A and B are shown apart, each in its own frame.
Chain A
């Protein structure tokens, strides 16, 4: 707010005063009033007027200056009313109260959504744990009665989808739901491989497991979920005969990289950049098997929360390689 702009804003008011004074001055001059008296009158008329404007300007100037400053420099602009001192002039007070009220309302509104989301998430967690009991007992019954292997496979799929739901809920939660610890990558990879043993064996997929010695800092369960999704995809899109999945790791100066490579059907050029998008199924998802397009999207989401990098390269007909990169610097792992 520049002074000139302020006075230009008062132009009408000043012009009326000048006009009134001029008329008054002319009349006084016509009735032979002393010029000195007229000038004095002008001084008495305008001096307090300008002084009042000046004082008003100073007050408003400091308030609006702050307002503009905070508005441009604040990261979270809605915090504006918290930062400003209460203005000492009437219009300012009215505006200030209006903004503060809007802020408060919005705050309550958001809190309500947060509460609702939290409730929803908690319900999903409970539901997932509840559904696991009947799943477990169904699997046990099948196993004991030596029933159809096909049904068991369907149950395993159901289990995987249920797990996806759980991790989706966890990944969208506002608070941090994970626990960072040091663990050996080898251990998690082995767990995942064992979980998928049946598929490897019955689909005759060769596993080439490199020596993995690295210890990484992250949430073990989340990493297990991510690797399981990737390995699951590699199995799903494997290509007979002589299907092979290769898992290996590499250490760099400031990162550890886990490579999961398959010689499966691969992903077409136009699809490869979109595999991490939500709900994206692409050619493979449509042609080869039912896909929800959630697996890799979830991996990306979880990886982002854990400050990992996940990337994918693929060539149609040749295979796919997924890289999972763990930063070594511990400071990078914990969310700011």
Chain B
């Protein structure tokens, strides 16, 4: 999978071994590098020396609690921090943000939401580093401008079409089910239903064909779509 985020390294500070490993596995799977901490007595030292781009920080830690840690890290670094906690009152959220955390996610998290938040923060903080142009066999997708280019022809995409194409290119050579596609759209607050997706798909295909691609998105009956 080619994720434009794949150069980013995420540091997972979580004392529950299972969660730590599974989370790391999941994040690696969607294309990040990960790093975990096993020794909770010297977290600060570790954080200071690590080259991570983002920290996922659990609140309930042995030796030092996450809030204190967050404040300590903030004193010397601007690294983005997402606090992960099972406490979910307004007060906890406020406290996290006041201590300098960039975001706050409650357990048990929805993985789609978790990855969306990570991506959003990385994008915001390391804007220049993340490519806004994706390419697929001569087709160029400019996410920032919402345009596609092919052989000097260009076409403007709607928000829905842009997201659909983006997702398909990210998962090129794999079959993407309609449900997966919809879940991705919903996580970006585009609440499309089945019919709308069909309409968007038809329009997107038409636009791709208009600029000269032939059958770029294949339908696999009963399974979904694929950009081979």
B93: A residues at CB distance < 8 A: 221
B107: A residues at CB distance < 8 A: 132-133, 135-136
B18: A residues at CB distance < 8 A: 137, 140-141
**Interface residues of A, count at CB 8 A:** 36
Ranked 6 nearest A-B pairs via Cβ:
A136-B108, A140-B22, A132-B86, A179-B90, A197-B186, A129-B86
B76: A residues at CB distance < 8 A: none
Would you call B26 an interface residue if the criterion is a C-beta within 8 Å of the partner chain's C-beta atoms?
A: yes
Q: A201 touching B90 by the CB < 8 A rule?
A: no
CB interface residues, A 195-214, toward B, < 8 Å: 195, 197-198, 200-202, 204-207, 209
Q: A144 touching B19 by the CB < 8 A rule?
A: no
Rounded to whole angstroms, the CA-CA distance of A273 and B201 in the bound complex is 45
Would you call B78 an interface residue if the criterion is a C-beta within 8 Å of the partner chain's C-beta atoms?
A: no
Would you call A60 an interface residue if the criterion is a C-beta within 8 Å of the partner chain's C-beta atoms?
A: no
Q: Assuming A129-B87, A159-B108, is B179 touching A141 (CB within 8 A)?
A: no
CB interface residues, A 119-177, toward B, < 8 Å: 128-130, 132-133, 135-137, 139-141, 143-144, 155, 159, 177
**Proximity bits, B88-118, A CB within 8 Å = 1, else 0:** 1111011000000000001111111100000
Would you call B218 an interface residue if the criterion is a C-beta within 8 Å of the partner chain's C-beta atoms?
A: no
Partner of A179, one of B91, B109, B113, B189: B91
A141: B residues at CB distance < 8 A: 18, 22
Would you call A107 an interface residue if the criterion is a C-beta within 8 Å of the partner chain's C-beta atoms?
A: no
Would you call A309 an interface residue if the criterion is a C-beta within 8 Å of the partner chain's C-beta atoms?
A: no
A207: B residues at CB distance < 8 A: 191, 193
Q: B87 touching A144 by the CB < 8 A rule?
A: no
A315: B residues at CB distance < 8 A: none
Rounded to whole angstroms, the CA-CA distance of A262 and B88 in the bound complex is 29
Q: A206 touching B193 by the CB < 8 A rule?
A: yes
Majority secondary structure of chain B interface residues (helix, strand, loop or mixed): helix
A198: B residues at CB distance < 8 A: 183
Would you call B46 an interface residue if the criterion is a C-beta within 8 Å of the partner chain's C-beta atoms?
A: no
Given A207-B193, A221-B88, list of 20 further CB < 8 A pairs?
A132-B107, A132-B108, A133-B16, A136-B109, A139-B111, A140-B18, A143-B26, A144-B26, A144-B29, A155-B108, A178-B90, A179-B90, A179-B91, A190-B189, A194-B113, A197-B186, A200-B186, A200-B193, A201-B179, A204-B193
Would you call A184 an interface residue if the criterion is a C-beta within 8 Å of the partner chain's C-beta atoms?
A: no
Instruction: Using CB atoms, name the residue of chain A closest to B108.
Output: A136
Q: A181 touching B19 by the CB < 8 A rule?
A: no
Would you call B69 an interface residue if the criterion is a C-beta within 8 Å of the partner chain's C-beta atoms?
A: no
Rounded to whole angstroms, the CA-CA distance of A139 and B18 in the bound complex is 11
A139: B residues at CB distance < 8 A: 108, 111
- Number of A-B residue pairs having CB atoms within 8 Å of each other in the complex: 87
* B residues neighboring A (CB under 8 Å): 16, 18-19, 22-23, 25-26, 29, 86-91, 93-94, 106-113, 179, 182-183, 186-187, 189, 191, 193-195
A178: B residues at CB distance < 8 A: 90
Rounded to whole angstroms, the CA-CA distance of A220 and B90 in the bound complex is 7
- Most chain A beta carbons < 10 A, residue from B16, B179, B193: B193
A129: B residues at CB distance < 8 A: 86-87
Rounded to whole angstroms, the CA-CA distance of A194 and B191 in the bound complex is 9
Q: A143 touching B90 by the CB < 8 A rule?
A: no
A221: B residues at CB distance < 8 A: 88-90, 93
Rounded to whole angstroms, the CA-CA distance of A204 and B25 in the bound complex is 31
Within the complex, the shortest CB–CB distance from A171 to chain B, in Å, comes to 13
B109: A residues at CB distance < 8 A: 136
Rounded to whole angstroms, the CA-CA distance of A133 and B15 in the bound complex is 11
Would you call A193 an interface residue if the criterion is a C-beta within 8 Å of the partner chain's C-beta atoms?
A: yes
Rounded to whole angstroms, the CA-CA distance of A51 and B110 in the bound complex is 86
Q: A144 touching B25 by the CB < 8 A rule?
A: yes
Within the complex, the shortest CB–CB distance from A164 to chain B, in Å, comes to 14
Q: B111 touching A179 by the CB < 8 A rule?
A: no
A193: B residues at CB distance < 8 A: 186, 191
Q: B108 touching A135 by the CB < 8 A rule?
A: yes
Instruction: Using CB atoms, name the residue of chain A closest to B178.
Output: A201
Within the complex, the shortest CB–CB distance from B211 to chain A, in Å, comes to 30
A135: B residues at CB distance < 8 A: 107-108
B112: A residues at CB distance < 8 A: 197
Q: B189 touching A194 by the CB < 8 A rule?
A: yes
Rounded to whole angstroms, the CA-CA distance of A61 and B186 in the bound complex is 76
Rounded to whole angstroms, the CA-CA distance of A51 and B102 in the bound complex is 84
B182: A residues at CB distance < 8 A: 197, 201
Q: Sample 27 A-B pairs with CB under 8 A, ordered by A number.
A: A129-B86, A132-B86, A132-B106, A133-B19, A136-B86, A136-B107, A136-B108, A136-B109, A137-B18, A140-B18, A140-B26, A141-B18, A143-B22, A143-B111, A179-B90, A179-B91, A193-B191, A194-B113, A194-B186, A195-B110, A198-B183, A201-B179, A201-B186, A204-B193, A204-B194, A206-B194, A207-B193
